[in-house]
Amino acid sequence: MRALLAHRLAAPVAIALIVVALAFILPSNFYLRVAALVWISALAVIGLNLLMGFAGQVSLGHAGFFGLGAYAVAVLPAQFSLHPLLALLAGALVCGLIAFVVGRPILRLKGHYLAVATLGFGILIAMAIANESWLTGGPDGMPVSRLTLFGWRVRGASTWYWITGALLVLGAWLAVNLVASPTGRALRALHDSEVAARVAGVDVAHYKLIVFVISAVYASVAGSALALVNGFVTPDSANFIHSIELVTMVVLGGMGSVFGSLVGAAILVVLPQVLTTFHDYEHLLLGLMMMVIMIVLRSGIVPSLAALIRRTRP
């Protein structure tokens, strides 16, 4: 059992099982839609977790990449009649390039300084999206044309559930592969000691850049997926609050835990829906629960519970 849990593929397999199982359990389209939103958030969170949890570099601007991905599938088909799938790829490419260019100077910074610099970057993107109304529809957002694949119009909660679920499993699989590779070891090493990693030959700046680009691409693809599912985009997808939400999901679920990324995303997407029944106390309760979780399970939900299980069942 423990060997099974420690296996490299444990997280993507568990996530795949959950996606399949929930498809049969969830009672209505409303729930399938919420689940699809969880899968999409979790995808972005896995990418951010590679950066934060494994490589130890914070980003408070990842909603910027998410927003660019979302607007790519809105703007490119509308303006240049690009196929939405190509638009998604173009968005990912552009985000990767931007991350590459911005990452070089930014990732030299550490800790709080890096946090503020990425924060600034995210705000810049959000402002650009909100201000360029001729292209993006400004603060009101813009519609996204429907996705058609080989003449088949993709629509319906259940279809999107499966597409986003598959995307999430793919993202989780790529992430665990990376973590278990020489690149992953280099990233985890520079998290713990940059100087020792460098002495071992790791080009620290290069590896930080690689993981920053990868995490930007994850966010972009997730953003594109959300836009396609919703059929609409607003600048909110790129804004600062969303960046904070993504970081919160990473920390809540567990830094350096791919499965934790899903847990963190699920909590922050589902809980507000559940708590709406408490009307005025919704935000109060949400904040309180987050605080309690972090105080009790201080390394995040999944790593803390895993450690607990290890200790009780030797």
Whichever of 71 and 218 has its CB closer to other proteins, that residue is 218
Shortest CB 21 distance to other proteins, Å? 25
Shortest CB 235 distance to other proteins, Å? 31
Distance CA 70, CA 306 (A): 35
The two tokens of residue 26 are 């969830």
Among 47, 28, 3, 17, residue whose Cα is nearest residue 264:
47
Q: Is 307 in the site for other proteins (CB under 8 A)?
A: no
Which of these ranges, 64-72, 80-88, 176-184, 243-251, lies near other proteins under the rule CB under 8 A? 176-184
Largest interatomic CA distance in the chain: 62
The two tokens of residue 183 are 């690149």
Shortest CB 43 distance to other proteins, Å? 15
Q: Is 177 in the site for other proteins (CB under 8 A)?
A: yes
Distance CA 89, CA 303 (A): 33
**Single-letter code of the amino acid located at 75:** V
Cα→Cα distances 84→72, 148, 152, Å: 8, 8, 13
Whichever of 20 and 180 has its CB closer to other proteins, that residue is 180
Shortest CB 189 distance to other proteins, Å? 4
- R_g of the chain, CA atoms, integer Å: 19
Q: Is 106 in the site for other proteins (CB under 8 A)?
A: no
Among 80, 115, 138, residue whose Cα is nearest residue 240:
115
Whichever of 187 and 266 has its CB closer to other proteins, that residue is 187
Shortest CB 194 distance to other proteins, Å? 9
Q: Is 1 in the site for other proteins (CB under 8 A)?
A: no
The two tokens of residue 70 are 């979302």
Strand ranges, E, within the chain: 142-143, 148-149, 152-153, 232-233
**Single-letter code of the amino acid located at 176:** V
Q: Is 184 in the site for other proteins (CB under 8 A)?
A: yes
297 three-class SS: coil
Shortest CB 257 distance to other proteins, Å? 12
What one-character-per-residue DSSP string does 169-198 give? Answer: HHHHHHHHHHHTSHHHHHHHHHHH-HHHHH
Shortest CB 256 distance to other proteins, Å? 7
Q: Which of 55, 60, 68, 178 binds other proteins (CB under 8 A)?
A: 178
- Quick note: the x/- pattern for other proteins over 124-163, rule CB under 8 A, is ----------------------------------------
The interaxial angle of helices 157-179 and 182-192, nearest 10 deg, is 70
Distance CA 137, CA 156 (A): 26
Which residues inside 203-232 make contact with other proteins, applying CB under 8 A? 203-204, 210
Whichever of 93 and 196 has its CB closer to other proteins, that residue is 196
Shortest CB 104 distance to other proteins, Å? 15
Which of these ranges, 17-25, 157-165, 202-210, 225-233, lies near other proteins under the rule CB under 8 A? 202-210
Q: Which of 14, 142, 174, 305 binds other proteins (CB under 8 A)?
A: 174
Number of Cβ within a 10 Å radius of residue 113:
11
What does the binding site for other proteins look like in residue numbers (CB under 8 A)?
A: 174, 177-178, 180-186, 188-189, 191-193, 195-204, 210, 256
